Amino acid sequence: MDDLELNALWKEYDRKLEESRVLNLQAWAVQRQTFEWLQTQKVRSRLRPMGVFKGWAVFLGVIWVLFLGLLAGGDHGKHPWFTGSIGIIFLFNVFAIVAYIRQMALIRQIDYTDNIVETQEKLAALQASTLRTTRIMFLQTPFFSTWFWNERFIAGSGLAFWAIAVPIVLLLALGALWFYRNITLANANKKWFRRLFNGIEWSPILRAMEYLKEIEDFRGR
Amino acid sequence: MQEQFLQQIEANKGILFKISRSFCQGRADQEDLRQEMLLRLWKGLPRYDPAYAFTTWMYRVALNVAISWQRQEKRNSGRIPFVDGHGEMADGPDGTHQDRYPLEDQHSPMILLQKHVAALKELEKALMLLYFEEKSYREIAEIMGITETNVATKVSRIKEKLKQAILNDKNLVYGRS
């Protein structure tokens, strides 16, 4: 089977379709629809990569941040460990919300008139960027184990504070740093990574990461 | 501008039909995809550079939309469009065309080529569509955003892959009968 034959097979299929007059029969509909869209200006794109996931994440994030803000603000600084820990968690979540909103805006601004590899790379990178935000969010973990600390707890726990509470915080801090450093594209195929991000909401992000690799291969870098 | 745009689209509507056919199965999905392509073409019109041919720009936008669409919808994995007894696009019950075609037609090289092109990865499929539409390597390189040398290498590799896949399928059928 030579090259000519493949091309001939392709053309043969095209010819059969042309013969069936599918294009001509449907052409009027295409034009009419186009006119309607242009006139109403109510056209909405159905291409919203990751929009739903990020949209929900922002919605829930805002509720969570409001709750944290009320907690931290309501304390009026009476309990520094509480206010400090909740305040830091609050800031991490505000960062995530802003990052998600920015990513959503950038995805909507993608220029489909650029060349294919560049456009697809931008889209995939933006979709995969959720993971970058997630790894930063891991850094807030230790503060979930310090919000209930206070002077009475520290003084009253004695040795147990240093033997249990502090090591837990250190362990969480080390774990958070490890995840921050290791949640990368390079580790996407590792078992722990797949297990950690095993869920319907993560599959498009993992697919986007795989797609980035595919694009890189396609480019022949 | 609107009138001119529509005239250009009308003159080149085959591009949209061919791309939607390769990336989508089912008439409704194909129509939806074409609507999306038209929308993106219209919105992208202010950025059209007349230094390039209108069809080059059209291929670029339409293929970008089709690839994104397929990645989003994930409706087409392993399924291909085909022509029914009246020459119209139709859906198969499971992506095959056994209900519509006699065995020899299902496994005709023409249908097998369509099947294997549809099963290619999105970027490879876009590349081969352009190749089969007889675009020059230079134009393909411009549309895809890779070098001409890379285009030539990839086209040659994918063609080999397609030929091998078609031959394997044919041998399989020959063995069965």
Block means of pLDDT (10 residues each) for chain A, 221 residues, are: 79 80 60 62 61 83 96 89 95 95 85 92 88 93 93 86 93 97 88 88 84 90 58
Of B102, B147, B144, B100, the closest CA to residue B123 belongs to B144
Whether residue B162 has pLDDT greater than 70: yes
Q: Do A219 and B150 touch (CB under 8 A)?
A: yes
pLDDT (0 to 100) of residue A209: 86
Partner A, chain B 86-115, Cβ-Cβ below 8 Å? 86-89, 109-111, 113-114
Measured between beta carbons, which residues in chain B are less than 8 angstroms from residue A1? 109, 163, 166-167
A112, with CB counted inside 10 A (0-12, 13-18, 19+), is buried
Q: Locate all alpha helices (DSSP H) within A21-157, ordered by sequence.
A: 22-40, 51-74, 80-108, 116-137, 151-157
Tell me which amino acid residue B97 is.
H
Residues 6+ apart with CB under 8 A from B31: B20
Cβ of A114 and B87 within 8 Å?
no
- The predicted pLDDT at position B89 comes to 41
| pLDDT at residue A31 in the model | 57
Residue B68 touches chain A, beta carbons under 8 Å: yes
Q: According to the model, what pLDDT value does residue B140 have?
A: 96
What tokens appear for A76 in the block? 């009026």
Whose structure tokens read 């890379």? B150
CB contact under 8 A, A37 and B38: yes
Please state, in angstroms and rounded to a whole number, the distance separating the CA atoms of residues A33 and B152: 38
Residues from chain A that touch B143, judged by Cβ atoms under 8 A, are 115-116
Q: Does B13 touch chain A (CB under 8 A)?
A: yes
Which of the residue ranges A183-192, A203-212, B76-85, B150-159 would you say has the lowest mean pLDDT? Answer: B76-85
Are B61 and B68 in contact by the 8 Å Cβ rule? The answer is no
Residues in B closer than 8 angstroms to A127, CB to CB, are none
Contact between A87 and A31 under an 8 Å Cβ cutoff? The reply is no
Residue A19's pLDDT is 72
* Cβ within 8 Å, pair B9-A30: yes
Per-residue DSSP letter, A158: T
Neighbours of A164 (CB within 10 A): 11
The mean pLDDT value for B4-24 works out to: 87
pLDDT at B104 over 60: no
Chain A CA closest to residue B47: A113
Could you list the beta-strand ranges (E) of chain B.
82-83, 89-90
User: Between A23, A26, A112, which is nearest B61 by CB?
Assistant: A112
Pairing mode, strands B89-90 and B82-83: antiparallel
Cβ contact, residue pair A6, B10, below 8 Å = no
CA distance A186 to chain B (A): 21
β-bridge mates for residue B82, sequence order: B90
Q: Are A201 and A208 in contact (CB under 8 A)?
A: no
Centre a 10 Å sphere on the Cβ of residue A159 and count the other Cβ atoms it contains. Answer: 7
First CA to last CA distance, chain A: 31
pLDDT recorded at residue B94: 37
Reply yes or no on whether the pLDDT at B59 is more than 50: yes
Distance of CA B113 to the CA centre of its chain: 12
The answer to whether A97 touches A137, Cβ cutoff 8 Å, is no
Check whether B87 has a pLDDT greater than 50. Answer: no
Which chain A residues are within 8 Å of B124, Cβ to Cβ? 218
For chain A, the structural domain boundaries read: 51-219
| B143 bridge partner residues | none
Please report the pLDDT score of residue A116 as a whole number: 95
Interface test with A, best of B32, B107, B113, B150 (most A CBs within 10 A): B113
**B110 with A12: Cβ contact below 8 A:** yes
Distance from CA of B176 to the nearest CA of A (A): 22
pTM comes to 0.77
Chain A residue numbers touching B13 (CB-CB < 8 A) = 23, 27, 30
